[in-house]
Amino acid sequence: MGASEYAHQRKGHGTSCMQRAIKYAHDNELRFFANEFRADGPKHLTASLERKGCQRDFIPPKEVELSLTLLEQRTGPEFVVRFAVDQVLSKQAPDFDDDVLYNLNILQENLGAADVFESSATLAQYLDTVRVDWEILPVGNVDDVVRRMLHGKRAVSETSRNTMKQRLNVMARFKPTAFIAGTNGFLRYFGAQFGDNLVAFENLSYGNALYLMYNDWEELSRRSRVDLLKGPRDGFDRIEHRDGWEQRLETLLKEHRKHK
């Protein structure tokens, strides 16, 4: 079953989940039980099969809908479209966390990306998240750079702040000419510039990889992660944050600088 088919099943028909076996060990009312299946065959023969089962919880469908809104038509056959779950959630509701996770899963399974906005967000604010304008920051103390990058932006967690510092410290080892940051209010991107056509940047929302971009990096950086990965990988390299990613970055920087 594909992701979108599974999402449709949960949205329109509900689903069931088997309660964890460990719960049965501590709750006398919830136990494994035996299911017996019988089938009558020829000559008055009966076959039976016994199989263990357990209690299931049925999760009813939410009947949420996906709405589409055209935000912008660009030059050529390009459009910016907002996909949204047509449901406004209250932060004070007891099921708020579960409902947010459910709706995010619907978007992630169908589109491969998801985010959360205030219900009062304007179309211009949505567009700000797909337009990235860059602020060039002078090289300096990384703590100071992080403070400048976060100034006036939406608050980030301490984990995200530490991730930024860690990644920028790695970039600083390779002598950048400047640090860079996305200037919209959501601070999606940050990184370092190593030359006119050599930029490494990260994304706080999808923090599992670094992108090293070459020619036309400003145009490439305005494309979504999904667009970058589904098209030809000309003009950039993607470095996943696995063991040895720092060495991979160093190697690519040296190769590019050598051919300049």
**CA–CA distance, 202 with 100 (Å, rounded to integer):** 25
Angle of helix 96-111 versus helix 3-13 axis, rounded to 10: 140
Residues 145, 112 share a domain: no
In this prediction, residue 138 carries a pLDDT of 84
- pLDDT > 70? residue 26: no
If one counts every other C-beta atom within 10 angstroms of the C-beta of residue 31, the result is 10
173 belongs to a structural domain:
yes
- pLDDT > 90? residue 249: yes
Domain end marker among 30, 59, 88: 59
Confidence grade of residue 93 (pLDDT, cut at 50, 70, 90): very high
11 belongs to a structural domain:
no
In this prediction, residue 176 carries a pLDDT of 92
Residues 117, 202 share a domain: no
Pick from 229, 192, 230, 227: nearest CA to 212: 192
Residues 248, 160 share a domain: yes
Residues 173, 241 share a domain: yes
Q: 171 versus 114: which is more confidently predicted? A: 171
9 belongs to a structural domain:
no
- pLDDT > 60? residue 47: yes
In this prediction, residue 172 carries a pLDDT of 93
Confidence grade of residue 248 (pLDDT, cut at 50, 70, 90): very high
206 belongs to a structural domain:
yes
**CA–CA distance, 76 with 71 (Å, rounded to integer):** 15
DSSP 43: G
166 belongs to a structural domain:
yes
Residues 190, 211 share a domain: yes
Residues 235, 150 share a domain: yes
Question: What's the number of domains the chain is made of?
Answer: 3
Domain end marker among 88, 112, 128: 128
- Is the Cβ–Cβ distance between 237 and 252 less than 8 Å? yes
- Tell me the pLDDT tens digit for each residue of 98-107: 899 988 888 8
pTM: 0.51
Residues 47, 113 share a domain: no
Task: Provide the 3-class DSSP secondary structure of residue 59.
Answer: strand
Structure tokens that stand for 113 in this block: 């990306």
What domain range includes position 48? 16-59
Domain end marker among 97, 113, 128: 128
Residues 236, 169 share a domain: yes
DSSP 19: P
Report the percentage of the chain scoring pLDDT > 90. Answer: 14
Pairing of strands 189-195, 56-59: unpaired
Of 31-40, 157-166, 213-222, 247-256, give the range with the top mean pLDDT: 247-256
Q: Which helix (H) or strand (E) holds 67?
A: strand 66-74
45 belongs to a structural domain:
yes
- Cβ neighbors of 199 (< 8 A, separation 6 or more) are 180, 191, 192, 193, 212, 213, 217, 221
- pLDDT > 60? residue 124: yes
Confidence grade of residue 7 (pLDDT, cut at 50, 70, 90): low
6 belongs to a structural domain:
no
- pLDDT > 80? residue 200: yes
DSSP 44: G
Pairing of strands 178-182, 134-137: antiparallel
Structure tokens that stand for 98 in this block: 């579960």
Residues 231, 155 share a domain: yes
Pairing of strands 33-40, 46-53: antiparallel
Residues 252, 165 share a domain: yes
Residues 183, 92 share a domain: no
86 belongs to a structural domain:
yes
Backbone phi, psi, residue 86, to 5°: -80, 65
Task: Provide the 3-class DSSP secondary structure of residue 26.
Answer: helix
Residues 203, 112 share a domain: no
**CA–CA distance, 35 with 113 (Å, rounded to integer):** 41
DSSP 14: -
